[in-house]
Amino acid sequence: MQAQLVLLPGDGIGPEVAAEARKVLAAVAALYGHQFAFEEKIMGGIAIDELGDPLPDGTLAACREADAVLLGAVGGPKWDDPTAKTRPEAGLLTLRSELGLFANLRPVKANRNLLGASPLRSDLVDGVDILFFRELTGGIYFGPSGVSDDGREAYSTMVYSVEEIERIVRLAAEAARGRSGRLTSVDKANVLEVSRLWRRVAARVMQEEFPDVAYDVVLADAMAMHLLARPRDFDVVVTGNMFGDLLTDEASMLPGSLGLLPSASLGDPGPGLYEPIHGSAPDIAGKGIANPLAMILATAMALRHSLNLAAEAAAVESAVDAVLDDGLRTVDIAAGRPHVTTGVMGDAVAAALA
């Protein structure tokens, strides 16, 4: 097949891990006879520096025309001035909104070779395989917000519509139906009216459309505790924007490193956006020690969800498992043992595909 892929290397370690993702995708194309056309565009802090805009018009236009978009990372202390008119992260929020990317998928899966890297006991982490669905374009991050004239008060409003809740719950339920048939919805209905709407709508969708899927509801604060005490009890989890942001960051530590976890943001129609969940890590940028596996696994999600290449996606995931089975480690997962560079890890995954 032919596919147009836009690469947004971004800031910090973003360009380093994006280069390894491109390397692996080129290996996939060669092995399976596909033609992937790559187009690199600037976004984030580098785009602010060069063009004064974290999401230039040319970048957005290219993303609209792509089959999939791959993002390295954006942001860093250089652009953290609170008085600045715009910040790198604003470009990411705008891109999600403009592409209609309402569903953020974050798989959290423990690798048996890396159980010792988790801050939790191995017996708690072994077997963890959770797929989070975070609603991405509604909620408190997109509701009305502002500051009073005297600067003494500020507000941010959490708003959800019935339609926004229905579409994310349906996606999560479909995924649960294809896995173990279990879905957990997370809200704060004991205190928030918007969560009460979420709970009513989610319950109706599940009862009317997915009666074959086991369904339960957990309060957000309780879920934060359960993820540490009994993470294996959860399969597919769906929640709103803010709760999803916090809970997936917490869950990301179960496997032991942010460098292992990918993320997909999907809409309908249009291209998906694929990225590692880690940040730009400017403290290690340029040192060649960043872990590229999350970015590489994000390419597997792009192959599966945007390009409909399930076999190729599984091959990339198996290649990652193979290099970890062989003992290769970047510094973040080496636990003091010998480690390899970003480039060597990417080379090893690409070679494992052959």
303-329 residue pLDDT tens:
999 999 999 999 999 999 999 999 999
> What CA dihedral angle connects 204, 105, 272 and 318, to 10 degrees?
-130
How many other CB atoms are there within 10 angstroms of residue 144's CB atom?
A: 10
pLDDT of residue 24: 98
What is the pLDDT, as a whole number, of residue 29? 98
Residue corresponding to tokens 């017996």 = 123
Annotated catalytic residue 141 = yes
Q: Is 0.85 surpassed by the pTM of this model?
A: yes
Q: Alpha-carbon dihedral of residues 295, 299, 302, 307, nearest 10 degrees?
A: 170
Topology classification of domain 1-104+258-354: Isopropylmalate Dehydrogenase (3.40.718)
Active site residue 32: no
Got the DSSP string for 221-234? HHHHHHHHH-GGG-
245 given a catalytic annotation: yes
Length of the chain: 354
Lowest mean pLDDT among 64-68, 107-111, 267-271, 345-349: 267-271
Q: Which CATH class is domain 129-253?
A: alpha beta
DSSP class of residue 58 equals H
* 126, 129, 235, 245: the active-site residue: 245
Q: Provide the 3-class DSSP secondary structure of residue 16.
A: helix
pLDDT tens digits, 160-193: 999 999 999 999 999 999 999 999 999 999 999 9
Nearest to 115 by CA among 105, 106, 123: 123
pLDDT in tens, 223-236: 999 999 999 999 99
Catalytic residue among 188, 274, 332, 347: 188
Interval 21-53: pLDDT, tens:
999 999 999 999 999 999 999 999 999 999 999
Position 260 scores a pLDDT of 87
What residues are paired with 39 via a beta bridge?
A: 6
pLDDT at 119: 81
Taking residues 16-25, report their average pLDDT: 98
Catalytic residue among 80, 249, 325, 326: 249
Beta-ladder partners of 108: 130
Candidates 216, 221, 283, 326; catalytic one: 221
**What distance in Å separates the CA atoms of residue 55 and residue 6, rounded to the nearest whole number?**
14
pLDDT in tens, 187-207: 999 999 999 999 999 999 999
- Within the chain, which residue ranges are assigned CATH 3.40.718.10? 1-104+258-354, 129-253
